[in-house]
C-alpha cells in the first residue's frame, strides 16, 4: 500500500506542505537570517553580524525591561492561577449536586478572545480607579496587577477542568483505605490527592507558563500604550511597527533579533516541559 500511496503525494500532502512552507518554513528561515541584518523590507537587507543582538541588550531601552516584566508576570500568574484552580477543583469533586453547572460557568472566560477580554477589564479597572480620580496609566503597578487579574480570570476555569480530570482519575480504594486507617482529610490531601495529581500539575504549570509568557492581545487591549507595561511579545511588535524614518532598517533588525531571543526562550521552556513529562512517563 505504501508504494501506491506514495504516488498520491500531490493530493494528500502537497496542499498542506505548500501552505506550511509559505506561512511558516520560509518566514522562519528568513526571520533567523534577517536578525543578523538591517532591513527596511524583507528582500533588501544588509549584513551586520551580531550587532542587533548586542544593541538590544545594551543600547535598547525597552527589551530588558519588558523581559524582566514578563518573567515577573509569568511567575505570579503561574502560582496564583494554579493554586486557585486546584482549590476550585477540590471543591467541585466533593460529589455535590450541580457541580457541572459551576464547571460550565467557570470555563466561560476562556472562550472569549484576548482583545475583548482586555477591553472588558479595561472598563472595569478604569471604572474602579475612576472613583479615586486616576486610571490604569497612572501607575505601572496598576497595569501589572490588572494583567495578573485578567490572566487569572481567563485561565483558572481551564486549569480547573484539567485538575478535576486528574482528581477523578485517582482510584477510590486509595481514599477508602486511608479512611479505614484513620487518616484525616488533610493527610489524605497531602499524601494521596496531591501526589496523585502531579501529572496534571505539570501540564497546567506549563500551559500557564507558555500562555503568560507569550501574552499579547490582552496586553495590547488593556494597557498597551505605555512602554512600561509592555510585555515581551508587545515590545517586539512595537519595535517593528511603531517606528518610522531613517533608522527604520535598524529597528527592523533589532525587532527580528528580539524575536529570535523570544523564540529561544519559549523553546527552552518547551524542552524542559518535554523532559518533565517524559520522566514522569518512565516512573509510572
Give Dmax (Cα) for the chain: 77
Exactly one of 67, 88, 167, 254 binds other proteins (CB under 8 A); that residue is: 88
User: Does 189 engage in binding with other proteins (CB under 8 A)?
Assistant: no
Closest approach of other proteins to the CB of residue 56, in Å: 13
Q: Which residues of 68-93 are buried (b: 16+ CB within 10 A; e: fewer)?
A: ebbeebbebbbebbbeebbebbbebb
Our CB check for other proteins shows the closer of 11 and 180 to be 11
Stretch that binds other proteins, among 17-25, 133-141, 169-177, 188-196 (CB under 8 A): 17-25
Exactly one of 44, 58, 59, 94 binds other proteins (CB under 8 A); that residue is: 94
Size of residue set near other proteins by CB under 8 A: 84
Beta carbons within 10 angstroms of residue 34's beta carbon: 21
Stretch that binds other proteins, among 47-55, 140-148, 176-184, 265-273 (CB under 8 A): 265-273
Our CB check for other proteins shows the closer of 144 and 211 to be 211
Site string for other proteins, 43-82 (x = CB under 8 A): x---------------------------------------
Our CB check for other proteins shows the closer of 113 and 171 to be 113
Beta carbons within 10 angstroms of residue 62's beta carbon: 19
Nearest to 60 by CA among 223, 243, 214, 222: 243
User: Does 34 engage in binding with other proteins (CB under 8 A)?
Assistant: yes
User: Does 40 engage in binding with other proteins (CB under 8 A)?
Assistant: no
User: Does 2 engage in binding with other proteins (CB under 8 A)?
Assistant: yes
User: Does 41 engage in binding with other proteins (CB under 8 A)?
Assistant: yes
User: Does 162 engage in binding with other proteins (CB under 8 A)?
Assistant: yes
Closest approach of other proteins to the CB of residue 175, in Å: 16
Chain mean position to CA 7: 41
Our CB check for other proteins shows the closer of 75 and 271 to be 271
Contact by Cβ (8 Å): 206, 273: yes
Contacts of residues 254-257 at CB distance under 8 Å and 24 or more positions apart, as own/partner, are 254/52, 254/55, 254/56, 254/60, 256/31, 256/34, 256/35, 256/52, 257/35, 257/52, 257/53, 257/55, 257/56
Structure-block grid coordinates of residue 189: 490531601
* 3-state DSSP of 15-41: HHHHHHHHHHHHHHHHHHHHCCEEEEE
Q: Which residues 127-146 are close enough to bind other proteins by CB under 8 A?
A: 127, 130
User: Does 110 engage in binding with other proteins (CB under 8 A)?
Assistant: yes
Q: Which residues 201-260 are close enough to bind other proteins by CB under 8 A?
A: 203, 207, 214, 216-217, 220-221, 233, 236-237, 240, 252, 255-256, 259-260
Closest approach of other proteins to the CB of residue 139, in Å: 20
Beta carbons within 10 angstroms of residue 35's beta carbon: 24
Amino acid at each position: 500500500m505504501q508504494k501506491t500511496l506514495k504516488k498520491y503525494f500531490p493530493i494528500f500532502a502537497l496542499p498542506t506542505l505548500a501552505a506550511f512552507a509559505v506561512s511558516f518554513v520560509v518566514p522562519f528561515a528568513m526571520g533567523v537570517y534577517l536578525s543578523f541584518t538591517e532591513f527596511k523590507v524583507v528582500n533588501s537587507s544588509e549584513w551586520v553580524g551580531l550587532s542587533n543582538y548586542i544593541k538590544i541588550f545594551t543600547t535598547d531601552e525597552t527589551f530588558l525591561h519588558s523581559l524582566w516584566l514578563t518573567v515577573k508576570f509569568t511567575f505570579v500568574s503561574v502560582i496564583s492561577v494554579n493554586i486557585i484552580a486546584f482549590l476550585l477543583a477540590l471543591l467541585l469533586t466533593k460529589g455535590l449536586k450541580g457541580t457541572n453547572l459551576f464547571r460550565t460557568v467557570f470555563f466561560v472566560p476562556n472562550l472569549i478572545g484576548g482583545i475583548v477580554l482586555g477591553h472588558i477589564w479595561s472598563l472595569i479597572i478604569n471604572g474602579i480607579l475612576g472613583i479615586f480620580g486616576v486610571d490604569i496609566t497612572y501607575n505601572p503597578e496598576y497595569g501589572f496587577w490588572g494583567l495578573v487579574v485578567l490572566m487569572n480570570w481567563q485561565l483558572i476555569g481551564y486549569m480547573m477542568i484539567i485538575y478535576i480530570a486528574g482528581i477523578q482519575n485517582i482510584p477510590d480504594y486509595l481514599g477508602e483505605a486511608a479512611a479505614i486507617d484513620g487518616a484525616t482529610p488533610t493527610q489524605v490531601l497531602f499524601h494521596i490527592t496531591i501526589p496523585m495529581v502531579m501529572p496534571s500539575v505539570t501540564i497546567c504549570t506549563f500551559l500557564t507558563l507558555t500562555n503568560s509568557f507569550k501574552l499579547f492581545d490582552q496586553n495590547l487591549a488593556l494597557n498597551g500604550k505605555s512602554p512600561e507595561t509592555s510585555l515581551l511579545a508587545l515590545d517586539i511588535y512595537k519595535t517593528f511597527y511603531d517606528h518610522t524614518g531613517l533608522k527604520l532598517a535598524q529597528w527592523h533588525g533589532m525587532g527580528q533579533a528580539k524575536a529570535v531571543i523570544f523564540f529561544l526562550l519559549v523553546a527552552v521552556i518547551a524542552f524542559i516541559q518535554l523532559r518533565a513529562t517524559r520522566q514522569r512517563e518512565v516512573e509510572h
